[in-house]
Structure 1
Amino acid sequence: MSKQIRFLFEGQTVTARTGQSVTAALLQHGEMAHRITTDGTPRGPLCGIGACNECLLQIDGRIAQRGCMTTVTQGMDVRRLPARPDLTQAAPLAACPDEPIPTTTCDVLVIGGGPAGIAAATALAQGDVRVIVTDERHMAGGQFFKQDGLGSAPCDEQQRRGQQALAAMQEAGAQCWTDTLIWGAFREKDGLTIGALRNGEALYIRPRFVVIATGAQERPAPIPGWTLPGVITTGACQTLMRANDALPGQNILITGNGPLNLQVAREILRRGGHVAALVEAAAAPFRRPAEAARLATLNPRLALTGLSQITTLRRNRVPVLWSNRLVRIEGQDRVEAAIVVDARGHETRIATDTVCIGDGFVPANELPRLLGCVHDFRATPMPHLTVRRDGNGATSQADTFVIGEAGGFGGADIAWGQGHLSAQAILHLMGRPVASATPWARKTTRARAFQKALWQLYAAPPPPSPATLPDDQIICRCENITLGTLRARIEQDGITDPATLKRATRCGMGRCQGRFCGASVASLTGHITTEKECVAPQMPVRPVPLAALAREKPEWKGHRRTVLPTDRPAAIRATPAQTADAVVVGAGVVGAFTALFLAQSGLRVTLLDRGPPGAMASGGNAGSLHAQLLSFDYGAPTQGLSPAARTMPLQKASIALWESLRDTFDRDIEMKRTGGLMIAQSEADLERMRQKVTVEQSIGVNCSLVGADELRRLEPALTPQCLGGAWCPDEGKINPLAATLAVLSAARRHGVQIVPMADVRAITRTGDGYTVGTTAGTWSAGTVVNAAGSFAARIGQLLGLDVPVHGAPLQMIVTEPVAPMLHNLIAHASRHLTVKQAVNGSILIGGGWTAGLDPVHAHPRPQRDSLEGNLWVARSLLPGLDRLHIIRSWAAMNIDIDGAPILGEHPDCPNFYNAVTSNGYTLAPMMGRITADLIVNRSTPTDISPFTIARFADRTP
């Protein structure tokens, strides 16, 4: 029997039982609201498995702690999490040791300690294989074998089976690491590396094989009121009862579709709770006698269990509303009632304080997607991806197996069988003796037949489309994005894919990374058929304390180039040629500005992009506006100004142009001249800054040296160890997600034809003009502008031209949002770093750390060393970052030239213009303006002689 303990919640004493989660302890005392959103409304726990991040609390000063995953302790101080926590009042989340992050090896890593993972690990360990099993919870068992963390309630059959399975796994010799969060997966030259956080400390695991058994998650459909405290998933309710011996409320409504809802309703009654009603979308089983009979034939025991559950509800006078669906939840600051509707459209209002929604499950597939396993799109029961695998769980990647519900919902029996089958397959690959797989194959075949019959019995009409909901309906819970906002952007920007809608609205950019809004976004943007059209997962797949990953790493000067991904064969689409005065290749921010200014001058302009417009470097940019030289662009001058230094006046003019244009756009681009500080931490840094400022002042850059006292006045969050730095009041920031789409929208309003998915495959000279052949059609134009960014060299090659542009993928990192703490754009005098705070409160960390190309998909992806090193440099300047989680990292293909842009008409190819630069976001308006001036007027007020391609004339290709 667990003992009573006391802790504080909002300054008031609350009692709990040893082993309970903080969320369970609060709910049993009627405290449903955990965090406060940006609009001041309260939110409470939803999923119960740490995926939704709605149960966030401030615990003992540490912000954004998941209440459902944190065990209560004596004297703990718990407070609701404000929308923007004040870091000056927060405690560090983790230590940042000086030693490297440790690495451990094993033969097989099994991620997930549910039935599938336990079965696989046990069979592998029995085959004398070194196995590590990780589970994020305090106790393994998964949702099905969920163990009682308090040791106070008698075990039922599921828990007894779980105890026996866990004991067998331990006896076989498999290591089981609980409280272990898997946050990332990397394919590296020498094999797999899995990033983990065990008991708050970072480590890496290097397995020969990985078995992903992460299960599934519930994904409730959005309806009015679904964000009220007191709305949880059915699985969360079961977790509260089985693992915490707690009920979520006093009067509980169970809704949704499927047999789990029946089971949970009966468990509530067994624990003395009250069930207001069970609302089931499917018709009553007695109305489908043929389906019910087939189910009973396939598995009489489970069929009788279901009948017993229905009988128990009737005996306890629980209303069971078949063929009904939840459509609305009512309440002020918490649930007060639910509205359900039957097949005839008749509404019933049910008084309740807790609504458990069981709409269905989707695979937790972030890790197999990160590892490059092929996935297929499934539209039912809700839009989602499922990994392509065989009966043993083998995927398209030979070292990766996906078993159980991580590959598709099927129940515990199938998961258990797949665990054994995957183990035998891996043992065979390792050359170890294997047992016959036939018995397990037969069992899983029978289990699949039963599951098919079960869901034929529970077949229900599809839920209403999110498009039928009102405009004020919140779709993205993390970012508080409404359906009206999504509709407006889809209509205004012509968006047809989830990734662009995500960039346009921030929908899916919060802590849960779109797990709960992704299906709605997919349904709003049109028909999706492939994995490529879905939003990609990002590391960390769960928020991780910044300090836990920060480690000092070697640095370099400049950018590391990479070979661009090889284009897949694709034919030019055979269509009649369209005509334009100018074709601009590349719909990033530079190309968009070029097209806009050309259209404003009266030209007919077509803007082509190989993907969705603004999706590459411009969509992955961190949004810094640079007016002084970056640390890796400055070198002590020996023979005149460097190319980067010559560009400084152009950057100053471009920032001013951004500022003059921002009120002309149809949305807030969140531009602000904050000023920029480049920080010196050593005497060598200070001397470097003195030389740099001297050069900059000589060419008119508004930059000056500041001492330590002035530095701290300008930026109090900086470490006291800073000695001084360079201050430039003209620097600032912009939101590239909004700004790129704003420029594209302006171009569209001025008549620019914007063509996505138009990969240019041929350019031929035809008299005084050109014919441009693409995968989306053919265009004839008098002028072509090469604004293709990192792909500019390939566009040049189509005309036999050498355009010396190289790809250089770079990474960015973003934290959770906090109260204002940074006032300036921060950079380092001798290290790769830029830091700034976005309007939404997130801290953006970048500065030129190299990224790599994903070896499977060939798109940019952050690397381990860069993540660690970038974070280390950031926290060395801003120690308050130790109090923050990172919630996302990403990479984009930047470009490397020589520090200056390439502008102007190519001397060997009349009417072919280059508009390419590595500092694209700062320079974009001026790049577009100058290029348009040259095309329309054949001249420009700006001297572009330092930026023409002629400066590379003596270069050896």
Structure 2
Amino acid sequence: MERHDVLVIGGGLLGCALAHHLTRAGATVALVEKDQLNRHASGQNAGSLHFQLEYRMIQHGPEVAARAAEALPLHLDAMRAWASLEDEIGEPCGVRRRGGLMLAETPEQLELLARKTALERAHGLDVRVLDTDETHALAPYLSDHVLGAAWCPGEGKANPRLVTHAYARAAARNGAHIAAGTGLRALRHDGREWIATVTRDGRERPMRARAVVIAAGIWTAQVAAMADVRLPVIPVALSMTVTAATAPLVPHLVQHVGRRLSLKQTEEGNVLVGGGWPAKFVHHGGDLDLDERPELRLDSVFGSADAARVVPAVQQLPVLRIWSGATSLTPDQLPLLGAVPRRPDLYVATGGSAFTLGPTYSRLLAQQVLTGRTELPIGDYSPARFGFLNFV
């Protein structure tokens, strides 16, 4: 029977990055992905590297924002990780860090921006509030309605079509066995190690591993259920828009403190507009179908177009495509990262800002899997914090 030190379930950025860090440390690793690598959230997002607290983290008041800010040490680590990522794995990943702006258009939003920035600076993030003149001097492409912005020079973007595959190739060079098109059918522990039943081309085979890491995105709860574990992973369907290419216009990552917005321009000249605009999951007989691509919502299409008015020139560009994807969140919007209680050597990684923080999540979790210790504390993100889930 095929045996490895670690079985990674999920072939997105987190799974492939985990395989890289684990094999780099000398572990034998198998990674299984039921579809193509990078097929889902990791390849369908807009590639933002947003280290400031996002709109969704601050819209529900100061207590929620303060809780979200507790994850800022991970943001700082991820900022450093992205800066050296291409050198580490030896391939271009489209990493461009030209700074990010979080905009305000009203006096009330400026006050919120100031409170957010003070909270971030207290945790060590390099960010400051620009007044109206400073904002428009730095970003003359912005609308006159913008009154100010929080400026974070370490923010930017990466190419989601490149990063995951680069991690996968780096892991394969270190000996990882990466099996795309391979589904998981069963997962159990025999008292000594994990036994997984996987299937490919209609043929089943067993695999053994000392440890298992679930990095399956919106399918995380389904996979965990195979091990008789209930995890509070909430699938969220989102939509994004891309325009036709134009001359260089927006060198920065642009967000908004008062509403959903994420806007950036690719190296090819296309402008990507997102920021959490919802799509709609497909239901069959009342059951959520996570395998079906979410449907677009007209209100999100118009809302996204309206949010982009902060860069007037963008609203003049033809739209090439609007697409949907899905990501996973937890009830408290913090990552789900670490060992699963009462399941020996079972680990999980999902939630939070999984693309932005992926290099950090994966490195820290690889350390925990192999040594039981991590460079940064991750206990606050453990599944154990959801004690009501009855890990039996």
What TM-score bracket applies, with the shorter chain setting the length?
over 0.9
Q: Please tell me whether the aligned partners of residues 793 and 803 of structure 1 are also in contact (alpha carbons under 8 angstroms).
A: yes
* Residue 867 (structure 1) shift: 0.9
Match of 1:932 in 2: 366
One-letter amino acid of the structure 2 residue matched with residue 578 of structure 1: E
* Residue 688 (structure 1) shift: 0.9
1:545-565 Cα deviation digits (max 9, x unpaired): xxxxxxxxxxxxxxxxxxxxx
1:74-122 Cα deviation digits (max 9, x unpaired): xxxxxxxxxxxxxxxxxxxxxxxxxxxxxxxxxxxxxxxxxxxxxxxxx
1:650 counterpart (61, 68, 74): 74
Q: How does 1:284-303 map to 2 (within 5 A)?
A: none
Bigger Rg over Cα:
1
Q: How does 1:88-167 map to 2 (within 5 A)?
A: none
Q: SS of 1:747's equivalent?
A: helix
Q: How does 1:493-508 map to 2 (within 5 A)?
A: none
- 1:660 is aligned to 2:93: no
Match of 1:760 in 2: 184
Q: Please tell me whether the aligned partners of residues 231 and 389 of structure 2 are also in contact (alpha carbons under 8 angstroms).
A: no
Match of 2:353 in 1: 919
* Residue 785 (structure 1) shift: 0.3
Q: Indicate how the Cα distance of structure 1 residues 650 and 639 shifts in structure 2: closer, same or farther if over 3 A, else same.
A: closer
Q: SS of 2:373's equivalent?
A: coil
Hey, what's the Cα distance between the residues in 2 that align with 1:955 and 1:912? 16
Q: Indicate how the Cα distance of structure 1 residues 901 and 638 shifts in structure 2: closer, same or farther if over 3 A, else same.
A: closer
1:211-254 Cα deviation digits (max 9, x unpaired): xxxxxxxxxxxxxxxxxxxxxxxxxxxxxxxxxxxxxxxxxxxx
Hey, what's the Cα distance between the residues in 2 that align with 1:916 and 1:748? 23
Match of 1:95 in 2: none
One-letter amino acid of the structure 2 residue matched with residue 908 of structure 1: R
One-letter amino acid of the structure 2 residue matched with residue 762 of structure 1: A
Instruction: Indicate the structure whose relative CO is greater, using CA pairs within 8 Å and at least 6 residues apart.
Output: 2
Q: Please tell me whether the aligned partners of residues 104 and 148 of structure 2 are also in contact (alpha carbons under 8 angstroms).
A: yes
One-letter amino acid of the structure 2 residue matched with residue 926 of structure 1: T
Hey, what's the Cα distance between the residues in 2 that align with 1:890 and 1:778? 37
- 1:893 is aligned to 2:326: yes
* Residue 854 (structure 1) shift: 4.6
Q: How does 1:362-401 map to 2 (within 5 A)?
A: none
Hey, what's the Cα distance between the residues in 2 that align with 1:914 and 1:671? 26
Match of 2:265 in 1: 837
Hey, what's the Cα distance between the residues in 2 that align with 1:871 and 1:639? 28
- 1:948 is aligned to 2:382: yes
Q: Please tell me whether the aligned partners of residues 632 and 830 of structure 1 are also in contact (alpha carbons under 8 angstroms).
A: no
- 1:906 is aligned to 2:340: yes
Hey, what's the Cα distance between the residues in 1 that align with 2:50 and 2:263? 12
Match of 1:586 in 2: 10
Q: How does 1:318-717 map to 2 (within 5 A)?
A: 577-634=1-58, 635-638=60-63, 641-642=66-67, 644-717=68-141
Hey, what's the Cα distance between the residues in 1 that align with 2:389 and 2:150? 34
Hey, what's the Cα distance between the residues in 2 that align with 1:845 and 1:813? 5
TM-score, length-scaled by structure 2 = 0.93
* Residue 858 (structure 1) shift: 2.2
Hey, what's the Cα distance between the residues in 2 that align with 1:679 and 1:843? 18
- 1:850 is aligned to 2:278: yes
Hey, what's the Cα distance between the residues in 1 that align with 2:61 and 2:282? 36
Q: SS of 1:835's equivalent?
A: strand
Between the two proteins, the alignment pairs up a number of residues equal to 379
Match of 1:816 in 2: 244
One-letter amino acid of the structure 1 residue matched with residue 62 of structure 2: P
2:235 counterpart (786, 799, 807): 807
Q: Indicate how the Cα distance of structure 1 residues 906 and 855 shifts in structure 2: closer, same or farther if over 3 A, else same.
A: closer
Hey, what's the Cα distance between the residues in 2 that align with 1:861 and 1:738? 26
Q: SS of 1:709's equivalent?
A: helix
Q: Please tell me whether the aligned partners of residues 100 and 154 of structure 2 are also in contact (alpha carbons under 8 angstroms).
A: yes
Consecutive aligned runs of 4 or more in structure 1 exceeding 6 Å deviation = none
Q: SS of 2:7's equivalent?
A: strand
Hey, what's the Cα distance between the residues in 2 that align with 1:708 and 1:955? 48
Hey, what's the Cα distance between the residues in 2 that align with 1:926 and 1:660? 12
Q: Indicate how the Cα distance of structure 1 residues 741 and 639 shifts in structure 2: closer, same or farther if over 3 A, else same.
A: closer
Hey, what's the Cα distance between the residues in 2 that align with 1:854 and 1:843? 28
* Residue 637 (structure 1) shift: 2.7
Hey, what's the Cα distance between the residues in 2 that align with 1:941 and 1:649? 11
Hey, what's the Cα distance between the residues in 2 that align with 1:818 and 1:736? 20
Q: Please tell me whether the aligned partners of residues 810 and 848 of structure 1 are also in contact (alpha carbons under 8 angstroms).
A: yes
Hey, what's the Cα distance between the residues in 1 that align with 2:134 and 2:94? 27
Hey, what's the Cα distance between the residues in 1 that align with 2:231 and 2:117? 32
Cα RMSD between the aligned structures?
1.7
* Residue 672 (structure 1) shift: 1.2
Q: Please tell me whether the aligned partners of residues 849 and 870 of structure 1 are also in contact (alpha carbons under 8 angstroms).
A: yes
Q: Indicate how the Cα distance of structure 1 residues 639 and 839 shifts in structure 2: closer, same or farther if over 3 A, else same.
A: closer
One-letter amino acid of the structure 2 residue matched with residue 907 of structure 1: P
* Residue 712 (structure 1) shift: 0.6
One-letter amino acid of the structure 2 residue matched with residue 939 of structure 1: R
Hey, what's the Cα distance between the residues in 2 that align with 1:586 and 1:638? 33
Q: Please tell me whether the aligned partners of residues 305 and 315 of structure 2 are also in contact (alpha carbons under 8 angstroms).
A: no
Over the matched positions of the two proteins, sequence identity in percent amounts to 33
Q: Please tell me whether the aligned partners of residues 894 and 918 of structure 1 are also in contact (alpha carbons under 8 angstroms).
A: no
* Residue 667 (structure 1) shift: 3.4
Hey, what's the Cα distance between the residues in 2 that align with 1:952 and 1:916? 15
Hey, what's the Cα distance between the residues in 2 that align with 1:646 and 1:843? 32
* Residue 636 (structure 1) shift: 3.4
Q: Indicate how the Cα distance of structure 1 residues 619 and 954 shifts in structure 2: closer, same or farther if over 3 A, else same.
A: same
One-letter amino acid of the structure 2 residue matched with residue 587 of structure 1: G
Match of 2:207 in 1: 779
Q: Please tell me whether the aligned partners of residues 636 and 691 of structure 1 are also in contact (alpha carbons under 8 angstroms).
A: no
* Residue 666 (structure 1) shift: 4.8
Hey, what's the Cα distance between the residues in 1 that align with 2:65 and 2:305? 35
One-letter amino acid of the structure 2 residue matched with residue 892 of structure 1: G
One-letter amino acid of the structure 2 residue matched with residue 924 of structure 1: G
Greater Cα offset, 594-603 or 770-779: 770-779
Q: Indicate how the Cα distance of structure 1 residues 807 and 651 shifts in structure 2: closer, same or farther if over 3 A, else same.
A: same
- 1:748 is aligned to 2:172: yes
Q: SS of 1:892's equivalent?
A: strand
Match of 1:210 in 2: none
Q: SS of 1:920's equivalent?
A: coil
Q: SS of 1:641's equivalent?
A: helix
* Residue 908 (structure 1) shift: 1.0
Q: SS of 2:264's equivalent?
A: strand
* Residue 640 (structure 1) shift: 8.7
* Residue 851 (structure 1) shift: 0.9
Hey, what's the Cα distance between the residues in 2 that align with 1:597 and 1:659? 17
Hey, what's the Cα distance between the residues in 2 that align with 1:728 and 1:825? 10
Hey, what's the Cα distance between the residues in 2 that align with 1:808 and 1:780? 32
Hey, what's the Cα distance between the residues in 2 that align with 1:593 and 1:791? 18
TM-score, length-scaled by structure 1 = 0.39
- 1:789 is aligned to 2:217: yes
One-letter amino acid of the structure 2 residue matched with residue 696 of structure 1: E
Hey, what's the Cα distance between the residues in 1 that align with 2:243 and 2:65? 41
